[in-house]
Structures are given as C-alpha cells and as structure tokens.
Amino acid sequence: MSSSSPSAPRTEARDELRRRFVEAARRAQIVTIVNRAQTEEELGELVSTELCDTFVAEIAFVLACRGGGRLGVVGAYGLRPTEVAQLPAHDLLDVSIASPQRLEGTDLLGVGARALVCASFAAGPARGIVGVARLHESGFDEAETALLEAVTVSVAHALERLRLADERDRLYREAEERAQAARVIGSIADGVLLIDGAGIVQLWNPAAEAITGLAQDVLLGRPVEEAIPGWSAIADALVVARGPDAARARATTVPLEMDGRELWLSIRGVGIAEGTVYAFQDLTEERRLEELKTDFIATVSHELRTPLAAVHGAAKTLQREDVVVGADVVGQLLTLIAEQSARLSAMVDDILLASRVDSPELKIATEQVDVAEVALDVIAAGRAHAHERLTIELVASPSPPVAADRDKLRQVLTNLVANAIKYSPAGGRIEVELEARDRHLAVVVRDEGLGIAAGDQRLIFEKFYRADANMTHGVSGTGLGLYISRELVRRMGGSISVDSQLGEGSIFVVTLPLTNTRIAAT
Amino acid sequence: MFPKATPDSSERLTGAATAVGRDACGEAVERAIASLGREAGLVLIFPTGDMDPRTVAAEATEAAAGARVAGMTGTGAIGVEGLIETGCAAIAFASSVPTAVGAVESGDPRGDARDAVGAVLAETETAPYRVVLLFVDSESGDQAEIVAGAYGVAGGRIPLAGGAAGGGARARFADRRALSGGVVAVALGSTAPIGVGIAHGCIPRGAPSIVTQSHGPNLVQLDGRPAQDVYFERLGVDGEEIDAEAFEVLAMLHPLAEPELGGAVRPRYIRARGLDGALVCATSIARNAAVEICDQTPETIIESAGAAVEDAVRQLEAPCAAAVVFDCAARSAWFRGALAGRELEALVAAFGSPSPSLAGVCTRGEIGRARGAKGDRNHSVVVVALSAPD
C-alpha cells in the first residue's frame, strides 16, 4: 500500500489528534536538537536537516545576523554551496518580517522550489529567518506554518544562548589571558611600568618595586611625574617605539635619583593602545663594576708605570758611557732595579691571584698553623719597610692553633699589615692581636691611621675597589689586596671584617676556625 | 529512454535476465547482454548471498565483455519471473546510456557516500535526468548517514535508490572488486524523467508512543517504560515466553515506524533485543521522536508492491522500459509455501504488458528518496523506473 494512505479506517478526529501528537513530538525533537547544538554552525546544520525530515522537504535553511550586520547563512541543507551563497536573504526577510509566509509557484530561492514557508525572528540583537522549501508541488499548510514558527522561536532562543555563551567564553578567555599576562609580568625580572594616555601609572610590577623601592600601592593611579621622583628629568631622553618597530625598541640608559641614591636604569618604551609600556633593568651594579674596572686599569697602569720608570731610569743610567758612576752608585741602582722588579712581580702576582682566587683551581691547604708565629714573621717584615714613626706590635696571649693554609694566611696578614702601614703616613701604633673566641681565633690588626669612610667600608673588599681611588693621600695600590684577603679567608673557612673611623684608624678582624673545629668539620 | 533521437533509438537500451544456481552470475550477465542485443556499457548484478563474492565479481566482469559491472548480493534475486533463492539477476544498459560507477571504502559512511556519489555525478553531469543507486552494507554504519552524505552532493533534484546487501556474503561489486564495507554508487542518466517509487505495507496499530530514552539505534524506553515491555504489550504477547526465533518473526511482521506530519509512516526494522529492555533498530531514532508499532500483512505487502510500481511509473513521461527493484527481505517472511511469489507477481503485474527489463534484489534495508531529504528505509520496496525512448 502507499505510505501516504493508511488502509485502516480512522475518524477525522483521531487523525487530527494523531497529527497533533506527531507535531508535538517533532517539535520536541527539534527543541532537543536545538538545545544540543554547541555552535551556530552545528545548530544550523542540525536544524536544517531535521526540518527537511519533519516537513518532508528537500531544502531548509537558517539565516541570521547580529546587530546591524548582514544576514548570513547559519546552516542549510539540500542546497549547493553556490545556491547557498545566492539565497535572497533580504527578500526573504521582507516577505516574512511581519508574519510567517507561505509561497507557492514563486521560486523565490531561485533553485526550482515549488513551495516555500519561512518565518523570521528577532532575539536580542540577533534577527534571522528559518525557511523550508519543497521541489515538488506540495504546498505547506497552516499547521506546518505554525510548527515552523514555533521552531523559529526555539532557534532564536538557541542563537541568543550561543551568542551569550560565546560572549561568556570570550570574557573568560580574556580574563584568563589578563591573569596570565599579570602572572608573567609579575614574575619577570625586568621592571614594567604602564603609563596611560593621561600620564597615570596603571601598572607597576614587583620587579619594578624591587629595583626602585617604590611600592605598587603608592604609585598606581597617580601621575607618573609625581609618583616617580626624577621621572620628569629622564622622560624626554627615553625612546618610545610604536607599531612594527616595537619589537626592536631601543634601550636608553639613564640615571634616576631615588631617595638619595642614583639608580642607572636601561629603559625601553613601547607605545600601545592603552598608553606606553616601559620595561627597565637595573644597571647600577654593572655600571659601578664598569667604573671600578676603569679605575683599576688607571690605577694598575699608574702602579706599573712607577716601578717601571724607576727600573728603566736606573738601567739607562747604567748604560750611559758618558757618565762615570761609582761602584756605590752602581750598587744603589742595581738595588733599585731589584726592589722595583720585585714590586712589579708582586703586583702581577696579585693580579693573577685575584683572577683565580675564587676558583677551585686555587688549592688551599688545611694544616695546623700557629698564628702567632706567622704574625711575628709578618710584623718583622713590616717593620723593615715601615718608617720610624710607626711601631708594630704583636699583642698575644698563648693562643691555640688554627686550621688554615700557612702561606695564604701569611699573605692575608701581610696585606693587612702593609695596608696599616700605608694608611698611617703620620705614624702611630699598629697592633696585631690574637684573641681566642669560642671555636675561632680572631686576628685583629689595628692602626691609628687615616681610617675609612663609612660608605667605603662595605666596598673595600670588592675587586678593584680603592677607598682613595684618586690617591689624594698619596697611597698607592691596585685595589686587589683586600679582595684577595677576603677570598682567601673565606676559602679557609673564616671571615674578615672592618671597623673604622675616618681620622682615627681602622680595625680589621680575621677569624679562623681553631684546629679541632676545622679539621673535624672537614 | 535515456539518450533521445539517436540513430538506433528503436533498439533496446536495456536487457535483463536471471539465472539459477551457484554459478549463475556469469550466465545471467551474458543473457542480459544478449537480451540487450548491442554493446553494453554497464551491467548491474544481483546475485544471492550464498556465492563466493570474488568468484562472482570475476565471472561477471568476464561475462560483461568490457562493460562496467556493479551490484550487490541479496537474500534473494528478483526477475520478471519472480524470486530466485539461489542464482542471479542482471540488467544490462547500452553503452549509449550515461552511466558511472564509483566505490569508496574508508570507514566513514557519510564521507564514503559523499565521495562516491560526487564522483559518479561528475561523470554524468550532462544527463538532464539522473538517479543514483547506492549499494551499502547494513553492518558498516548508520544507513541514514550514508543517505545524508549522498544527499549532500546530489541535492533534492536527483533521486536516490538502493539498499543494503543481504545474504551470507553481504558483498557489493564494483567491476572486479567485491567489497565488504564502504559504498558503491551508480549513476544512471537519461533525457527523460526517471521514476522512483517507494512503498511499504506497514499499518500503525493503536496510538503512537514517545521515545523517552534512546542511544543511537538502541531504543531504550517508550513512554517512560522499557521499550520491549511496551512493544510486547501492544502486540498482546506480554507475559509470553519469546525466544530469539519468535522475536525475529515478530520484528519482521511488526516493525516500528516514525510517523510523518502528513500521516505517512517510515518503518524502522527491529534488528534485535538489547540490554535493559531496549529494542535495537536498524537506524538511530532520536529521543522525543514519536514511534508507532505496525502490522504488515500479505495483503498490505502485495498492495504496497503495486503501489511502488505505480508511484514510479507515474513519474515517467513514457512507458516504462526498465526497472530496478530493491525489496526488503523482511517483507518476504510472509511469502512462503502457498503465498510464495505473490508479492513479486503483483509487482511485475503492476508494470503492465509488456513487462520492462527488470532486475532486483532482496535487501536488508532500503534506500529510497524521491521527496524530502531522508531516504533510509526499512520494510519497504523501492522501484526505479526508466522510460522507453521517444
């Protein structure tokens, strides 16, 4: 029998009831499908397919637009891509804007459709059309039109739901991106500053706080000129890259006065829509080291030139044939050459030692050392070079031996005593005192000389640093002695410190572990 | 039929034949071509599924003498003589008829159908009228997906027909290849309209139910209750001991159906009983769908066979010269013993005299789309009718 004519007798009422039941089921099916869709594309495909099935139609489509945009195809079934692209969206909207429309005999779609029913919707900012078409001559009835209208409402709600879901996802994604960016900015070592178009500080990361000491909560929301001292002085010098050049932004190194200290910052600026981002690094330490190196080169050059000049002068004198020098003068000149050569050699040794004193390659012995004995040797050598207004004494009660490298300890004490002599130009007393403290022995070298300024005391143990770089007091040196001393003492398990008052002298204290402690620990 | 006003248009453009026996395929092809009386471009073969598919493909290709070969196995073959339980039906198309054969086997039913149909339509695009025959495997995926893939390419103007292979072998043929999966598509072109008639003999009993739970083809609940309970209750066999064999008979005689808005129903074959009281159908039925439990009787089946032919022939503008028939194997369950052959007698009779060249196959799921977009069918007979030349 034909699929369209059930043979069992049915009353019209039963048929109508059955049809309404089937309609309700179809509508529920479509609502189920509509609610299942996770994207507009999926919604369009599922609804179009299901509409073709429900209406026994060959073509179905969903068109929609957002805001004032053009109607676009959300989904279509039964149309070739070229036919989809040519759907007369606005004509369809015009005919169905007021109420669902049924068209027969007019091929509005331009694809040979014999019957068309379409309904429009507007939900939130979205509007659109849902349509179904048949290629055969079976028009749509009122019940089908009503069903399509109901489906259209569901589609409109689904599109609005998907739009909101998209918006939600976008906001979550942006929030996550912002959080991630904040985590990145918060974790990088460079300081980051964002100044908006009005010159207000909008971002100041933890690295910026650490570099400058300026707290984020004090800066944010304030004009940059007011919030960052010295900003106005450097702002004009900074280069701000924009657009494609942003990746190659050039850094400018500028000094920034901050609470009485001078920070040297390397700053790159990039212009963005929200204002200007500055990323900066603290180069203060690097700059100081650079200055120290420069000073060191100058100092060493000077220190080398003085004995070299003496040696050179003596040698030239001895070479002269037009001058007759006596044997005593020859002896003096040769002594001078020997002494200055030794001085040069010692200087070179210091430079070489400074270059490897913190390296494992420099071997440090651990042996039982009688410090008093070493100190006496050093004092004796010091006395030989000291002028007559200086006295150098060992103040020591019997002291236990320390675990150390005898030669390295001698070098340390020699440096300290030599410094005490050099910085006591007016004479006075130099004491080397040994004092047992708990499990250590303290070797205290005390002088009554020039003293060291408080600001220099924390720096004098660093490589190349000289408290009197300009030699205003006529004291020469490479600036390596105390650095070498500190490293040698550290390698022997001890420590070194200084306490000094300008004009009143200095006290250097070297502590070394007593024999039992050191050897047990080893 | 097919190309108009060719010099030899008075000659036959199709020839059909059947042969009986396990080695009948080559013979059927030879006889079909002989009946055609001219060079064949394509031979469709429908052997019963108790033959070795590779042997069938080789014999048919050899017998086709250079013509392309396509087809599929069935639980039975159909000719104008009626049902052939072991043997082969074949129909040959003249080389002047626009035809194309494509086969794609990738494991994606929708994609396979899209690609195979796209290929055969591209080869026949100059023909004003076309039909696409699909030979598929019911075990390789949802038949609705295959139809959707084909429809996506063919659109609403090109009808679809075909079915799922039956018999033990369940093989499809594309030239020398015998496929166990994938899709074989055949395009037939013509200068005259091609008719596709679809009918079934299923009559809903009682009121429709709502699918309240389903997973793909597993229909778990009807009206909030286990689907099997509702099914047996409606058939009046609840409480009875129903073994597998008895259930198979029930399922063949009482399919489910999805009602359409216009009053027609689309039958759904019940393949098996599932776990948790589910009914396992041949295709997916969505939640909230309405379904009806149907009866089909010898009378309604016979009536539907004639209706399908009339439906197909009505779409022609000239007398029917050839027909390809896809008839659900489940429909033949009634036609044994005294009733044997009655359905096909009615079907052939509906064409009138003289009978067209006719070949067909008993399928395990049918494809028939002439209206609407859906075309996956069960318990149906699909008739493709081609008209004679001007």
Which CATH number characterizes residue B210's domain?
2.40.10
Whole-number pLDDT of residue A15: 82
Q: Which residue has the higher pLDDT, B334 or A202?
A: A202
Backbone angles phi, psi at A461, to 5 degrees: -90, 0
Q: Are B158 and B307 in a shared domain?
A: yes
CB-based contact B373 A58, cutoff 8 Å? yes
Q: Are B344 and B270 in a shared domain?
A: no
Contact A6, A129 (CB under 8 A): no
| pTM > 0.80 | no
B25-36 vs B53-63: helix axis angle to the nearest 10? Answer: 30
Q: Are B214 and B185 in a shared domain?
A: no
Rounded Cα–Cα distance for residues B43 and B32 (Å): 8
Handedness of CA A83, A84, A86, A87 (dihedral sign): positive
Report the percentage of chain B scoring pLDDT > 90: 81
Q: Does A422 touch chain B (CB under 8 A)?
A: no
Q: Are B167 and B304 in a shared domain?
A: yes
DSSP assignment of A355-422 equals HHTTSTTS----EEE-HHHHHHHHHHHHHHHS-TTEEEEEEE-----EEE-HHHHHHHHHHHHHHHHH
State how far residue A20 is from chain B, nearest Cα, in angstroms. Answer: 9
Query: Which residue among B239, B273, B294 closes a domain?
Result: B294
Rounded Cα–Cα distance for residues A3 and A56 (Å): 13
With left for phi above 0 and alpha for psi between -120 and 50, is residue A205 left, alpha or beta? Answer: beta
Q: Which helix (H) or strand (E) holds A135?
A: none
Whole-number pLDDT of residue A217: 92
* Average pLDDT of span B38-57: 96
Q: Does A136 touch chain B (CB under 8 A)?
A: yes
Rounded Cα–Cα distance for residues A155 and A175 (Å): 30
Q: What angle do CA B108, B113, B119 make, to 5 degrees?
A: 125
CB-based contact A2 B204, cutoff 8 Å? no
Evaluate whether residue B3 is within a structural domain: no
Amino acid at B251: A
Nearest by CB: B290 against A22, A53, A143: A22
Q: Are B217 and B145 in a shared domain?
A: no
Query: Which residue among B270, B294, B318 closes a domain?
Result: B294
* Average pLDDT of span B132-137: 96
Rounded Cα–Cα distance for residues B288 and B212 (Å): 6
CB atoms within 10 A of CB A124: 14
Contact A503, A413 (CB under 8 A): no
Whole-number pLDDT of residue A3: 45
Q: Are B209 and B177 in a shared domain?
A: no
Evaluate whether residue B9 is within a structural domain: no
Rounded Cα–Cα distance for residues B179 and B190 (Å): 28
CB-based contact A8 B373, cutoff 8 Å? no
CA nearest to A252, candidates A266, A236, A242, A269? A266
Evaluate whether residue B78 is within a structural domain: yes
Whole-number pLDDT of residue B5: 32
CB-based contact A25 B155, cutoff 8 Å? no
**Considering only CB atoms, which chain B residues are within 8 Å of A107?**
none
The torsion defined by the Cα of B26, B27, B30 and B35, in degrees rounded to 10, comes to -140
The torsion defined by the Cα of A37, A40, A45 and A46, in degrees rounded to 10, comes to 20
Q: Are B49 and B147 in a shared domain?
A: yes
Q: Does B122 touch chain A (CB under 8 A)?
A: no
Are β-strands B357-363 and B320-328 bridged in parallel, bridged antiparallel, or unpaired? Answer: parallel
State how far residue A92 is from chain B, nearest Cα, in angstroms. Answer: 21
In three-state secondary structure terms, A301 is helix
Q: Are B171 and B307 in a shared domain?
A: yes
Evaluate whether residue B4 is within a structural domain: no
pLDDT for B316 beyond 70: yes
pLDDT for B6 beyond 50: no
Rounded Cα–Cα distance for residues B106 and B182 (Å): 6
Number of domain units in chain B: 2
Contact A140, A55 (CB under 8 A): yes
Residue B3: cis peptide before it, omega within 30 degrees of 0: no
Evaluate whether residue B7 is within a structural domain: no
Rounded Cα–Cα distance for residues B92 and B69 (Å): 9
Distances (CA, A) of B351 to A377, B231, B328, B344, B370: 134, 37, 19, 11, 19
pLDDT for B9 beyond 70: no
Whole-number pLDDT of residue B310: 97
* Average pLDDT of span B83-109: 95
Contacts of residue A373, Cβ cutoff 8 Å, sequence gap at least 6: none
In three-state secondary structure terms, B378 is coil
- Can you list the domains of chain A with their CATH numbers? 16-167 (3.30.450.40), 188-282 (3.30.450.20), 286-356 (1.10.287.130), 367-521 (3.30.565.10)
Whole-number pLDDT of residue A439: 87
Q: Are B224 and B79 in a shared domain?
A: no
pLDDT for B3 beyond 70: no
Q: What angle do CA A365, A369, A374 make, to 5 degrees?
A: 110
> Which residues span the domain enclosing B285?
202-294
* Average pLDDT of span B40-67: 96
Q: Does A13 touch chain B (CB under 8 A)?
A: no
Whole-number pLDDT of residue B11: 65
Whole-number pLDDT of residue A470: 57
Query: Which residue among B245, B273, B294 closes a domain?
Result: B294
Handedness of CA B226, B228, B234, B240 (dihedral sign): negative
- DSSP alpha helix (H) spans, A129-247: 142-187, 206-212, 216-219, 224-227, 231-235
Evaluate whether residue B230 is within a structural domain: yes
CB-based contact B156 A1, cutoff 8 Å? no
Cα R_g (chain A), whole angstroms: 46
Rounded Cα–Cα distance for residues A356 and A313 (Å): 33
Q: Are B178 and B231 in a shared domain?
A: no
Q: Are B166 and B40 in a shared domain?
A: yes
Q: Does A78 touch chain B (CB under 8 A)?
A: yes
Q: Are B48 and B82 in a shared domain?
A: yes
The rounded average pLDDT for each run of 10 residues, N- to C-terminus, in chain A (522 residues) is 48 83 90 88 93 94 80 91 87 81 86 92 82 91 92 90 90 93 89 94 94 92 92 90 81 86 92 93 88 78 81 88 84 88 84 80 88 92 86 87 92 92 91 90 94 87 71 66 91 93 93 72 44
Whole-number pLDDT of residue B169: 87
Residue B137 C-beta-side C-alpha neighbours within 13 Å: 25
pLDDT band at B226 (very low <50, low <70, confident <90, very high): very high
Evaluate whether residue B1 is within a structural domain: no
DSSP-derived letter for residue B356 is: P
